[in-house]
Structure 1
Amino acid sequence: MEREFGVKISYSKAHRGKLHALNMLHGTPRDSFQKLSSYCHVVGESNPRTVTHIEVDSYNRFRYFFVAFGASIRGYMQYLRPVICVDGSHLKGPYKGTLLVATTQDGNKQIYPLTWEIVDAETNKSWKWFLSNLKDLIGDSEELVFVSDRKKSIQKAISQLFPSSRHGCCIWVEDFERLMGQICRVSERAHGYLERAGYSFWSRALFIGHRYNIMTNNNAESLNSMLREARGKTLYELCSRYYSSDYWKGAYNETIYPVPREVDWVVPSLITCTPIFLPLVRRPLGRPPTRRKRSRCEYAWSTRKYTRCGRVGHNRTTCLNPRVSHTP
C-alpha cells in the first residue's frame, strides 16, 4: 500500500480492510448460511428433480448440506458404469468444514461429478448421512462398486448402507501370486500385514465385482485431473456398452442450468424466514497451513538455491558452475 498508493497502514488494519472488501463483494458468512434455503429452492426450480438437503441442530445451527443435480444422477443411472469414487477435502473458509464428493467416470475417462456435501468433519455420522442420501438416489446392487481411501468411517458406512455392493481401495497388481511370494521372502511382516488387510479390498486381481479401469479414488480427490490409464483392458471392457459413443453422449444429454441473479429470486416466505445460524467452530492454534501435507513416502521436489552460484537444483558438492561475485 505504501509503495503503490503512498498510504502507510499497519498489518492489522490492512487485514481488516481486506476482510471488509471481501464481505462487500461476496457477503458475510452469516448471510451465506441464511440464504442457503433460498438457493436450494432456486436450484430446484432451474434443474428439475435436483435433490438438496440441509440439516441443522436443535439451535438451528448449520450442520450438513447435500446437493445432487438431477441431470447428473439420471445420466449416471442410464449411461455410466456403476463404479463410484468417494473422498473428502478440507474447506479453507472461516468456518472450516469438509467437502465430501462422489464421482464416477464416463466411457472417455473423464470425471463425472455425482453428489456434493458439506459437513463439519469426516466422521462416522457425516459419511453415513452422505451415503444414505446417495443410496436414496441410486439404490444398492451387486454390480455397484465403491473406490475410496482406507478411512474406517467410509468402510463402515458402505458396509451398513450398501451390503450388496463391493468396496475397494487400491489398484490391480499384475502376477499377484508371484509378487506376493516375493514380498513374503523379503519381509514376512509386510506379507502378514497385507494378508490381514484382505486381498479383495486392496487388490484388483482378487476383487469381487467389476471395477472396470477405475483403480484409485483420484478423480474424487481432484475433479481437475484424470485417472491414470489401466495397465490392460479385457475384451469385455473394450466391447462394453459403456464405451460406446451413444452412452457417452447420453450421459451429457441433459443440462445443469445456473441459477438466476439473486435479485431475480422468487422464494416463498416460509423458506426465507427459516433461520440457519453459523456453525460452532473451534479454530486450532497457530497459523493455518497453506500447503498439502505430503505422505510419508512422497518425494518432495526441492527448489532451494545454492548461494555461491545463484542457481537451483544442486548443492555445494555437485556444483560445477563458477562462483558468482557479489562485490560491486
Structure 2
Amino acid sequence: MGTRKFREEVKSTLNVALTYKQAYLGRKKALKLVDGSIAEQFSRIRNYCAELKRSDEDASVILKLTDEDDGPRFQRLYVCFSACKHGFRESCRPVVGVDGCFLKTNSGGQLLTAVGLDPNNNIFPIAYALLEGETKDTWMWFLRLLDNDIGFENEDGWTFIFCVRHLYTNMKYDGFRGVAIKNALWAAARATRVEEFKMRMEDLKKINHDANIWLAKKPEQHWSKEYFSTIPKCDILLNNMCECFNNMILDAREKPIISMFETMRNLLMARFQTNIEKAEKLDV
C-alpha cells in the first residue's frame, strides 16, 4: 500500500493519527525489513544473476560491473528470459516498442524496456535493463543485446516508429508549439494516401514554414501511416506498449534492485501462465 493508504490503515486499526512524513518513514523502514537494504541487494547481485541462469539456461542475463578502488561496482543489468525471446520470435508481430523515457527507480538507476505485440494485439514484454543513465552508449548497449536475442537481420520485416506524442514534444522543445501545429502534425501522421500526406504538410507549411522544414527532415516511414511498411500489418502511432508495461511495474520500481527484478519476473511468469491456460481452452 502507498503512504496515504498506510496512514488510513494505521488510523483505522490502531486509532493513531500519523503525519505524512511519519507514515512515509515508517513504511520505508518496514519495506527495508522485508526487502533488505539497497546496499545489501547490490552486494548479492552476482549471486542473483547466477541463479537466474541456473533456472533458465537460455536466458540472457548480462551484468556489467566497473572496477573501482574499493572493488567492483554495479553499472548495468540486462535480462531477457528464454520464454520472452523465443515466444516473441515464434509467435509475435515484428513490432517492438523501446521505452525512450527512462524511469526513475529506487535502485539508484534508470530502467529501459522493450515490449512487442502478440497475435491478440496485447503487449508482449521482451527485455528490460537497469542502467546508470541515458546516453548513446547505454542505448547502443541495450539495442545490441536486444538484437542478439530477437535478431534485426531481416530489416524489411521490422517496424521502428517515432512515437508521435514524443515527436511533438521534440517539436515544442525546438520552439514549434501551439494547437494548430500539433493538429497539423497529427493530421499528417494519420494520412493514409500520398496526396493527403502532402496536403497536410502544406497545411503545416502555411501555419509555420520552419516547422514544416523541421518535420520534413524526419523520415516519413517512421511516423506517417501512408509510408508504413505493410509487412508487419501494424499502423500504431504511439508507443503505448511500453507505457502499458511501465504502468504494470509501478510497485516494482519502488523496490531495491533484486526485489524489483523479481517482482517483474513474477509478473511475466504469471502473465505467460494465464495466456497458456487461455490458449488451452480454445476450441481450434
TM range (shorter): 0.5 to 0.7
State the 1:18 CA deviation.
3.9
Residues paired across the two proteins, number: 211
Q: Counterparts of 2:138 and 2:207 in 1: how far apart (Å)? A: 41
Determine the structure 2 residue equivalent to 1:135.
147
Conservation of the 8 A alpha-carbon contact between 1:90 and 1:99 = yes
Conservation of the 8 A alpha-carbon contact between 2:117 and 2:124 = yes
**Alignment equivalent of 1:49, drawn from 58, 68, 71:** 58
Determine the structure 2 residue equivalent to 1:77.
89
**Alignment equivalent of 1:178, drawn from 199, 204, 211:** 199
Determine helix, strand or coil for the equivalent of 2:200: helix
Runs (5+) with no aligned partner, structure 2 = 1-6, 168-187, 249-271, 278-284
Conservation of the 8 A alpha-carbon contact between 1:90 and 1:96 = no
TM-score w.r.t. length of structure 2: 0.63
Residue 36 of structure 2 corresponds to residue 23 of structure 1: no
Q: Counterparts of 2:201 and 2:139 in 1: how far apart (Å)? A: 33
Q: Counterparts of 2:241 and 2:206 in 1: how far apart (Å)? A: 35
Residue 102 of structure 2 corresponds to residue 89 of structure 1: yes
State the 1:131 CA deviation.
0.8
Conservation of the 8 A alpha-carbon contact between 1:85 and 1:148 = no
Deviates more, 1:175-184 or 1:58-67: 175-184
State the 1:73 CA deviation.
0.6
Deviations 1:140-186 (A, max 9, x none): 222222235569xxxxxxxxxxxxxxxxxx95423212222222233
Deviations 1:97-123 (A, max 9, x none): 211111110121100000010011121
State the 1:48 CA deviation.
3.6
Distance change (3 Å), C-alpha of 1:118 and 1:209: farther
Output the amino acid matched with 2:191: V
Q: Counterparts of 2:243 and 2:11 in 1: how far apart (Å)? A: 40
**Alignment equivalent of 1:64, drawn from 62, 72, 76:** 76
Write out aligned runs for 1:1-328 (5 A).
17-59=26-68, 60-87=72-99, 88-93=101-106, 95-139=107-151, 140-142=153-155, 143-149=157-163, 171-174=189-192, 175-207=196-228, 210-213=231-234, 214-223=236-245
Runs (5+) with no aligned partner, structure 1 = 152-169, 227-248, 255-328
Output the amino acid matched with 1:186: I
State the 1:209 CA deviation.
6.7
Structure 1 vs Structure 2: percent identity of aligned residues? 26
Output the amino acid matched with 1:124: K
CA RMSD across the alignment: 3.3
Deviations 1:169-207 (A, max 9, x none): x95423212222222233323222211233233223124
Output the amino acid matched with 1:82: P
User: Of Structure 1 and Structure 2, which has the larger fraction of its residues in helix?
Assistant: 2
Distance change (3 Å), C-alpha of 1:130 and 1:187: same
Output the amino acid matched with 2:160: F
Determine helix, strand or coil for the equivalent of 1:197: coil
Distance change (3 Å), C-alpha of 1:7 and 1:144: closer
Q: Counterparts of 2:16 and 2:245 in 1: how far apart (Å)? A: 42
TM-score w.r.t. length of structure 1: 0.55
Output the amino acid matched with 2:73: R
Which structure exhibits the higher relative contact order, with contacts defined as CA atoms closer than 8 Å and separated by 6 or more residues?
1
Q: Counterparts of 1:16 and 1:31 in 2: how far apart (Å)? A: 19
